[in-house]
Amino acid sequence: MRPGLGIDRVRGVIHSRGVGSSREDGEGHAGAAARGGASRGQGQGQRQVHLLAVPPRQVGGRRRLDAARPPGPRGHWLMGNVAEYERDRIGFLRRHHREFGDVFSFDERTVFTVDPRLAHQVLAATNREYVTEAAPFAGASAPRDAGEFAGPWMRARRALRGALGDDAAGEWDAAFLAALDAALGRTAGRPVDVLPVMLGLAAETVAGLCLGADAAEVPELLAVNHAALLPFEEASYQLPAWVPSRRNRRFFRAHGRMTEALTRIVAARRAGAARSGGRDLLGVLLDARPALSEREVTTTLWSLLIGGHGVPAAALTSLVRELALRPGLTAALASEAAQAAAAGEAPRNPGDPGAAESPESDGTPESAGTPGTPGAGEGCPRARLPLAEAVVREVLRLSPPAWMLTRVACVPAELGGWRLRPGDEVLLTAYLIHRDPRWWPRPDEFDPSRWDTAHPPPGAHLPFGSGPRYCPGSSVAMRQLTLAASRIAQRFHLDAPDAAATVPAFSGRLAPAGLRAAFRPRRPA
Ligand code: HEM
């Protein structure tokens, strides 16, 4: 059973075997998604057994799965809670949070928490007590092995830190703005589905970031992979990878094409046959010391490409919705953009000084100034566009694209007084934490001004996660979203008559379902 979707589903697929592996491994990448995501030391298909939830016992009028498990809904005698969850995921979570409190179990091996303190604790203990859904480069067959496989990934992360920090992230501002103008310009003022436009924009942006001049074929491959991954994200139950279902075959085909392309690009770059004009992430990875293997480089690229595609596109789509609903706010953003431009301040050029310390320094983004938004130093356009930045933060608070984070215990662990066994899964509901009135006054209200004073406790603001597996693209993402908010407001009239009626889709990534909008160019002032 996979109630925990979000980015981890995708990453489970990506990371489970490393990009260079194949079906011959026995299960390949789709194995993680197909089994519910995991190198967990359980035989193939065993994970699905959790679907057949053991009927809980009634203990003293309180439902308990067993003495060692948190309380939780009883569900159907055979199917557990899957059907109810699938009918209305967030409604299910809200109901059971109200009934059972901040920690409740979904089935024998799956626990939800809506407690920021516990979320923070779990995220901070990742790579020690917990693993992300499956470890990068994993060929691991048991959760206890996953830390070992996270090693190369963490080395790659460290190598990338400088290149993805706030100073360096500015190098891509101009390319991002050009791609944004082009993507919205192509819509020619006609109403369009916003998410596909943003997926195209994000694909082009992240492909350029990773591969520079060698990126040409990658945006299309990302689109193909995105489409192949969607069914895995949307369903709670998957067939094992070895079943030659249409969905599995489609995924293997898409994945194989991307693998082949990345392997070719990496090999050519290593051989010096292809040279990117600027400094891209592939260049950084190839220069890493100690050197990363070809497969580690390729797998890291794959993770960055997938992580930097669907999630930012979902965030951009939510941003458009909020802007479309608030003409007054867009006018204020346009005026801020005009002032910043007049002062020659936006966007900033490469080499800007003054970025804040990386949140990875101690694994706690909350310690890096404003909670959950690291690196907002004076050199960042966010500092020059404070309203745009606050709008973005508010969008990410109300609609975190990665609305549920997943961890798997790899050793016996403790969560809020409950015992977890290796293989148990903890689901951190960022969406509910972000809307909890205990940490957020008027939690459902869109109010960028709250960021003038907001000081949520650790773990209460998780748009980019926390701890050692904090999003490595967060600085780039915050910059680009801030620039996008400002640019869209300045250059386009937004017309989205149905925006208020769109509902959030709690799929792999949270985004307003079916949002349509027309981006009509404004006359230059
Ligand atoms: C609005 C934009 C973005 C949001 C909201 C976002 C959110 C997140 C979150 C919440 C996580 C942590 C997941 C967890 O703890 O399980 C994460 C991880 C990750 N993100 Fe982002 N992300 C964004 C943009 C990007 C970009 C632009 C890139 C690539 C340049 C990227 C690459 C990654 C990667 C590779 C990981 C996995 C990190 C690891 O496992 O160590 N993300 N992201």
Q: Which domain holds residue 28?
A: 7-62+72-521
Domain total for the chain? 1
Q: Is pLDDT of 432 > 90?
A: yes
Residues 353 and 165: beta-carbon distance below 8 Å: no
Nearest atom of ligand 1 to the alpha carbon of 11: 37
Closest CA to 498 of 196, 192, 187: 192
d(CA 465, CA 471): 6
In a 3-state reduction of DSSP, which class is residue 437? coil
Count of all residues that appear for the chain in the document = 525
Name the residue of 128, 303, 360, 464 to mutate for ligand 1: max ligand atoms within 8 A of Cβ. 464
Q: Is 476 in the pocket of ligand 1 (CB under 6 A)?
A: yes
Is the residue at 67 inside a domain? no
CA–centroid distance, residue 401 to ligand 1 (Å): 10
Residues 159 and 433: beta-carbon distance below 8 Å: no
Q: Is 311 in the pocket of ligand 1 (CB under 6 A)?
A: yes
Question: What average pLDDT does the structure give for the chain?
Answer: 80
CA–centroid distance, residue 369 to ligand 1 (Å): 20
Dihedral sign (CA 197, 199, 201, 204): negative
Q: What was the pLDDT predicted at 492? A: 96
Q: Which residues are annotated as a binding site for heme?
A: 471
Q: Is pLDDT of 101 > 70?
A: yes
Q: Is 8 in the pocket of ligand 1 (CB under 6 A)?
A: yes
Is the residue at 1 inside a domain? no
Is the residue at 360 inside a domain? yes
| Type of residue at 356 | A
Q: Is pLDDT of 293 > 70?
A: yes
Nearest atom of ligand 1 to the alpha carbon of 210: 30
Rounded to 10 degrees, what is the CA torsion of 253, 256, 261, 266?
Answer: 170
Is the residue at 330 inside a domain? yes
Is the residue at 127 inside a domain? yes
Q: Is 472 in the pocket of ligand 1 (CB under 6 A)?
A: yes
Q: Is 359 in the pocket of ligand 1 (CB under 6 A)?
A: no
Is the residue at 175 inside a domain? yes
- The larger pLDDT score, comparing residue 148 to residue 512, is at 512
Nearest atom of ligand 1 to the alpha carbon of 15: 40
Is the residue at 2 inside a domain? no
CA–centroid distance, residue 287 to ligand 1 (Å): 23
Q: What was the pLDDT predicted at 298? A: 93
Nearest atom of ligand 1 to the alpha carbon of 209: 30
- Please tell me the residue having the least CA distance from ligand 1 atom 1: 312
Using 50, 70 and 90 to split pLDDT, how confident is the model at 412?
A: very high
- Please tell me the residue having the least CA distance from ligand 1 atom 20: 471
Which residues are 406's β-sheet partners?
427
CA–centroid distance, residue 207 to ligand 1 (Å): 15
Q: What was the pLDDT predicted at 22? A: 29
CATH number at residue 205: 1.10.630.10
264-285 residue pLDDT tens: 999 999 888 666 556 799 999 9
Using 50, 70 and 90 to split pLDDT, how confident is the model at 146?
A: low
Q: Is pLDDT of 53 > 60?
A: no
DSSP of 388-416? HHHHHHHHHHHS-SS--EEEEESS-EEET
